[in-house]
């Protein structure tokens, strides 16, 4: 899997690039509302990365499993969990075939992980696996960029930030039906500089493709702009999809 080796290669600086430490409390605060309003006592964080949301959920008292395809991301996640004194069941599994021997009140797939899937067929298959992980009143919560907006704007720069002596630049190449996602890390110290450039392919799932797939597997869905959750608009930066068995 291309995405697996991509994340294995960027795992060592993923947290600096995405500001893990700065975001933990904020994300926990946001997830608190979900835990309260949906009475979530068990959850799985699929494509959990270095464990930001899994750890936040565990700190809220939720019995949490974290699943990811990259062993290097999971190694960092384990270290964070230890630092934060929480117990999480970490498993290494691709989301396309995620399978666990229990069901959950919530399946989370956050931080733009879903576009690592190859195409709408793989989306159907993966959401089908997510559905099998749900308790009867359970919800699936997915967060990704709003690709309707990305495809309309075709802005190549995704994000840029600096931590210590390294600058991180994330940018897109727009290809026929895919997007190539590049991560460029430029380290500049007094006497020398070095660069690390990695890339992987994303499938830019649109709102309609996501909703079609949810309906196909027999769930209903609501769409929001973020996890707050604010109402979705055409120019929302993100898209949050909440899928469930029943009308809330």
Binding site for ligand SAM (CB under 6 A): 1, 3, 7, 18, 47-49, 52, 68-70, 73, 94-96, 110-113, 116
Smaller CB separation from ligand SAM, 1 or 137: 1
Chain center to CA of 145: 10
CA distances from 89 to 24, 36, 38, 58, 190 (A): 19, 22, 22, 10, 43
Smaller CB separation from ligand SAM, 18 or 199: 18
How many residues can be counted in the chain?
248
Cβ 247 to ligand SAM, closest distance in Å? 28
The residue assigned the tokens 């690390």 is: 196
Smaller CB separation from ligand SAM, 111 or 138: 111
Chain center to CA of 51: 10
Smaller CB separation from ligand SAM, 96 or 212: 96
Cβ 84 to ligand SAM, closest distance in Å? 15
Smaller CB separation from ligand SAM, 126 or 236: 126
Smaller CB separation from ligand SAM, 49 or 204: 49
Smaller CB separation from ligand SAM, 119 or 188: 119
Q: How far apart are CA 223 and CA 215, in angstroms?
A: 13
> Residue number with the shortest CB distance to ligand SAM?
111
Q: How far apart are CA 199 and CA 4, in angstroms?
A: 11
* Strand order, beta sheet including 179-188: 157-163, 166-174, 179-188, 193-202
Cβ 88 to ligand SAM, closest distance in Å? 13
Backbone angles phi, psi at 107, to 5 degrees: -115, 115
Cβ 103 to ligand SAM, closest distance in Å? 19
Cβ 80 to ligand SAM, closest distance in Å? 11
Cβ 3 to ligand SAM, closest distance in Å? 4
The residue assigned the tokens 């690039």 is: 17
CA distances from 40 to 30, 79, 87, 97, 123 (A): 14, 25, 17, 23, 25
- Among the listed residues 7, 15, 94, the one whose alpha carbon sits nearest the alpha carbon of residue 55: 15
Cβ 189 to ligand SAM, closest distance in Å? 27
The answer to whether 76 and 15 have CB atoms below 8 angstroms apart is yes
């Amino acid at each position: 899997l291309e995405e697996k080796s991509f994340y294995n290669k960027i795992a060592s600086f993923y947290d600096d690039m995405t500001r893990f430490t700065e975001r933990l409390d904020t994300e926990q605060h946001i997830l608190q509302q979900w835990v309260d309003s949906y009475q979530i006592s068990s959850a799985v964080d699929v494509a959990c990365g270095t464990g930001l949301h899994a750890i936040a959920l565990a700190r809220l008292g939720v019995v949490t499993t974290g699943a990811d395809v990259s062993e290097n991301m999971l190694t960092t996640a384990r270290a964070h969990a230890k630092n934060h004194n929480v117990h999480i069941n970490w498993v290494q599994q691709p989301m396309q075939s995620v399978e666990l021997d229990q069901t959950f009140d919530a399946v989370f797939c956050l931080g733009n992980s879903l576009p690592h899937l190859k195409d709408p067929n793989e989306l159907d298959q993966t959401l089908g696996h997510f559905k099998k992980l749900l308790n009867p009143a359970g919800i699936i919560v997915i967060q990704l960029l709003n690709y309707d907006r990305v495809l309309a704007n075709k802005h190549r720069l995704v994000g840029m930030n600096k931590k210590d002596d390294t600058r991180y630049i994330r940018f897109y190449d727009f290809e026929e039906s895919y997007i190539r996602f590049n991560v460029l890390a430029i380290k500049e110290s007094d006497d020398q500089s070095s660069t690390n450039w990695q890339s992987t392919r994303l499938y830019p799932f649109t709102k309609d493709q996501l909703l079609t797939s949810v309906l196909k597997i027999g769930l209903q869905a609501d769409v929001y702009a973020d996890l707050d959750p604010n109402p979705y608009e055409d120019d929302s930066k993100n898209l949050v999809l909440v899928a469930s068995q029943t009308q809330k």
